[in-house]
Chains A and B, each alone.
Chain A
Amino acid sequence: MGIGMAHGATHGITMLGWSDYVGLIRCRAVPTHQLEARLEHGLGWAVAGQALTPFAELAPNPWGPMAEVRQVPDPSAHVVLPAYDGRAPFDLYLCDSRYPDGTTWECCTRGFARQALAALESVFGLRFIGAFEHEFTLITDTITPAPPFSVEALRVAPRFTADLADALTQAGLEPETVEPEYGYLQYEVTTAPAMGLAAADRAILTREVIREVARWHGMRATFSPKPRLDAVGNGAHLHFSFADADGSNVTFDPSTAASGSRTGRPPSGSALQRRAIQSARHGASTWSTGRGTPPPAPT
């Protein structure tokens, strides 16, 4: 999904990033002119970093300060945004965490998704199609909040929203909507569905592009599930279905009451979805469980 500018670039900095257990994107970075040498074997990384909370504390872990893996950038998960208004370009790869022999580190979150997707394909011949919706809140002193979902709410930040749509498009992330949400200074971005691991990569890269464009405008975008105690919460929705080897969607079966295909064929149905949602909550932060009390934000 990169737009193919970094290769051959001779200046600036390129970030090699990964999503950790708490859903933050951490990174190391190299001068862009050295990237070519890093594409094959990546950069070493002390894996104790995987034990970081969302703040600064380090959890007990078996790794100690010496254990390392390689963070190997994947050219299929790459965004470049050119310099904006005199600022530095934004150049980010997502990485796989690998041992020096190339095998996947057992605690690599991207490897976790990759392995599950491979099983889905090898056992059932199915491919995952996913599209995310992202809600976020702008933190700024310079914009007067406006009513929910209103034209006013979009137009109080006209450059930000227009630049965001352009940046997401330029990064190849295929935005479908950039719109005001229910909360004050809350917005939502949806992107087109993507296939397999690219769906997860797209979700991560979209969030980072949103943050970057907010920074361009002197603001912060927060995805915190409750950015203020009296604020409407932010969520992320995942819509998903399955395709066969030909790319045809096989999730829809009009003969069932819920129009979902039965198990034994495609893994759809609410048993899957309930288990899946519960699993997703396992990955939630302490604070996102605090958001789960009614009334929920309309979305």
Chain B
Amino acid sequence: MIVGALIQAGLSGVRRALPLPPACDDDPANLSEDQRRDLGIVPLPATLTEALKALESDPIASAWMPEPMRRSYLDLKRLEQELAESQSPEELCRRHAASY
């Protein structure tokens, strides 16, 4: 899915003729807020909840998936998030190491 999303993101940028943003040759964590803003650097979602909200509120990214995939994927990821919220970090850690 990562390869599919990556390519779709590229196609979307090219179709809309987005300009190439400025290059950043430093770790964004070392830059000031102002420098990051000038470079157009936005932090990635810090939680799955934020990531799912970002996907749902983005009509472009949402259109990459066929509707049955988008809906079932979001339902699954929401359940994953609910389950995670009811578990301790130790339990989450143990279960993920067992599955992955």
Contacts and interface: CB of A to CB of B under 8 A. Distances in A.
Are A and B physically bound partners?
Answer: yes
A112 interface: yes
Interface string B1-38: 11111111111111001111111100001000000000
B3 A199 contact: yes
Interface string B81-100: 10110000110110111011
13 contacts: A21-B1, A24-B99, A61-B75, A116-B3, A128-B3, A223-B100, A229-B93, A262-B19, A267-B11, A276-B6, A278-B9, A279-B5, A292-B46
Which of B7, B17, B40 has its CB near the most chain A CB atoms (within 10 A)?
Answer: B7
Interface in A140-176: none
A9 interface: no
Interface in A250-299: 256-258, 260, 262-264, 267-272, 274-287, 289-290, 292-294
B80 A286 contact: yes
Interface of B: 1-14, 17-24, 29, 40-42, 44-48, 50-52, 54-55, 61, 64-69, 71-73, 75-81, 83-84, 89-90, 92-93, 95-97, 99-100
Interface of A: 19, 21-24, 50-55, 57, 59-62, 106-107, 109, 112-117, 119-120, 123-124, 128, 130, 139, 197, 199-200, 222-229, 238, 240, 256-258, 260, 262-264, 267-272, 274-287, 289-290, 292-294
Nearest to A196: B3
Contacts of B8: 116, 119, 279
B94 to A, nearest CB: 9
Contacts of A256: 20
Contacts of B20: 256, 258, 260, 262-263, 269-271
Contacts of B78: 59
A119 B7 contact: yes
Nearest to A52: B76
Q: Which of B2, B20, B68 has the most CB of A within 10 A?
A: B2
B13 A106 contact: no
B72 A50 contact: yes
A109 B17 contact: no
Contact of B7 (A50, A53, A120, A277): A120
Given A227-B97, A270-B23, A283-B5, A106 B66 contact: yes
A112 B1 CA distance: 7
B6 A24 contact: no
B48 A286 contact: yes
A287 B96 contact: yes
A228 to B, nearest CB: 6
